[in-house]
Structure 1
Amino acid sequence: MNRTRAGPAAGRDRPDDRSAHPLTRPAILAAALEIIDRDDIERLSMRRLGSRLGRDPAALYRHAANKAALLDGVTEFVFEQLAVDSTDPDWRHQLRLVARDFRRLAVAHPHAVPLLVTRSLATPLGLRPPGTLRPLEHILVLLTRADFSEGDALRIYRALFGFLYGHVLNEVQEVVDRPEETTDLLRLGLQHLPIGEFPLLRGLASQLATYDGVTELERGLDTLLAGLAATLGPAGARRQDPR
């Protein structure tokens, strides 16, 4: 997915009609995510957020002690939109739905992907916002109900999200060097690579330029879930994946 960073624009942080409503934590986090979506994480500040909400930035500190706490809140705000049905009798089907939902959130909020991937992993589990841990807990419930041991359930979660983190980072990163060029080799800047050292990579220019996130996700899930079922799945859990 190619993306272009937006630059400053006049009137960008003009207050919206939320200034007439009570200041709540969900409203603050939603506005913060809007700024991140539009500009980037580095452009988020208490001053800009206060301007966006039509409030004195000092009022925001009652809901987030500093920018780090605000970013934790945004991470939690996004993760709370990740739906996991722990009562689904088909664990593979449910994990496939979770994976699609996670990709949907990442594509909808590409500038927030570093928060979803690296920020969570850099914080000890017990210190992470509860909302970021609920998908993990619900997936563990889903898998233990499918007769996996608790240890195997955790291994499956780690395998799934390790794959998802890598997938979304690949999909949302900027890959185009010169979009005005007419060939994929030149658009990706692969002409800079010595042909004698990187013949296969240069030869994949068209496939690299036409990355299909949906297709690649499904192919990866086919391999991952089949392998997990074969190596860890109890006999009662080895059912055909209906997708």
Structure 2
Amino acid sequence: MAHQTGTPRRAPLSRARVLSAAVALADDAGIDSLSMRKLSQDLGVVPMALYKHVANKEELLDGMVDVIVGEIGPPDPGVDWKAAVRQRILSARRALLRHPWASRVLETRTTPTPAVLDYQDSMIGMFRDGGFSVDLTHHVMHALGSRMFGFTQELFEAPSMEPHVQAAALRQMSARYPHIVAIALRTDHDEGSVVGLGCDDQFEFEFALDLLLDGFDRLRLRGWSSTADLSDA
């Protein structure tokens, strides 16, 4: 019997396939390269075909965030709250390492997606299961901020300039801002940040995370409350 030959059939377009292709495009060319037209070209469809699955680019970005959050793994069962929280946050960080553009997109979302809400709810649940009051957990979540998703905003952004120009600028600044320059000239950071630009490397991230978790634990053990009189603490 003769076998038919020809072009393999393309998988039917679906929301999952659209989001997967969008993530791959952002990974390969950067988030600024992402457009509905470019995405449709990569998928081999007309741009209007995308709108059956995502209403607009904002909904596309929301869906891409959900894909990344879906890559965050659960903590090992049976570990205490501190290890569980630490594992979950570092898993989130690894997801952002795979998709360096994702932190920028997360920061632009004005309404959390269901996947983000699920993740936040599970994080809150780990603290509550660890014996944290609702009051303390509320303040803990504020203190964690974006660190819950595995990234932080850099305090000292690296200026975008040629090395010799940057060196001259730092020398000029050193007379007026000696302490800032001394910190900026530290050389024990990675050449490139693991998430975005700046010196937000793995050591710095874990250092701050462990300080926070230890501090949260001390407050938990003290039975801390935001309404209590702490003047004698």
Question: TM (normalized to structure 1)?
Answer: 0.72
Are the aligned partners of 1:147 and 1:234 in contact in 2 as well (CA < 8 Å)? no
Distance 1:134 1:75 in 2: 13
**Superposition deviation, residue 94 in structure 1:** 1.1
Aligned alpha-carbon RMSD (Å): 3.0
Structure 1 18/39 Cα, relative in aligned 2: closer, same or farther at 3 Å?
farther
Which residues of 2 match residues 1-243 of structure 1 at below 5 A? 20-85=10-75, 88-116=78-106, 118-120=107-109, 122-123=110-111, 128-163=112-147, 167-170=151-154, 177-178=161-162, 181=164, 190-191=169-170, 193-207=172-186, 210=189, 211=199, 213-233=201-221
- Give the Cα–Cα distance (whole angstroms) in 1 for the partners of residues 9 and 219 of structure 2: 55
Q: Deviations over 1:56-96 (max 9, x none)?
A: 22111111001111111111111121223495441111111
For 1:154, give the aligned amino acid: H
Query: Is the contact made by 1:19 and 1:55 (CA closer than 8 Å) also made in structure 2?
Result: no
C-alpha deviation, 1:190, in angstroms = 4.2
> Which deviations, in whole Å up to 9, do the C-alpha atoms of 1:118-156 show, x marking residues without a partner?
223x22xxxx32111111111122222222223333332
CA 130–189 in structure 1, closer or farther in 2 if over 3 Å, else same: farther
> 1:149, 1:87 → 2: CA distance?
22
Which is worse superposed, 19-28 or 95-104? 19-28
- 8 A Cα contact 2:93 2:150, kept in partner: no
- Normalized per residue, which structure has more helix? 1
The runs of at least 4 aligned residues of structure 1 exceeding 3 Å deviation read: 84-89, 161-169, 173-176, 186-190
2:177 & 2:8 partners in 1: Cα distance? Answer: 54
1:138 alignment partner, SS class: helix
Change (3 A) 1:19 1:140: farther
Please say which structure displays the higher CA radius of gyration: 2
Cα distance in 2, alignment partners of residues 167 and 188 from structure 1: 28
5+ residue gaps, structure 2, are 1-6, 190-198, 224-233
Distance of 1:23 and 1:206 partners within structure 2: 51
Pairwise CA distance, 1:226: 0.8
Percent identity reads: 27
CA distance in 2, matches of 1:39, 1:64: 21
Q: Distance in 1 between matches of 2:60 and 2:181?
A: 42
Q: Is the 8 A contact 1:152 1:232 kept in 2?
A: yes
Count how many residue pairs are aligned between Structure 1 and Structure 2.
207
CA contact (8 A) 1:76 1:131 kept: yes
What is the distance in 2 between the residues matched to 1:18 and 1:206? Answer: 56
Greater RCO structure (CA 8 Å; 6+ sep): 1
1:28, distance to aligned residue in structure 2 (A): 1.0
Distance 1:225 1:102 in 2: 16
Amino acid at match of 1:68: E
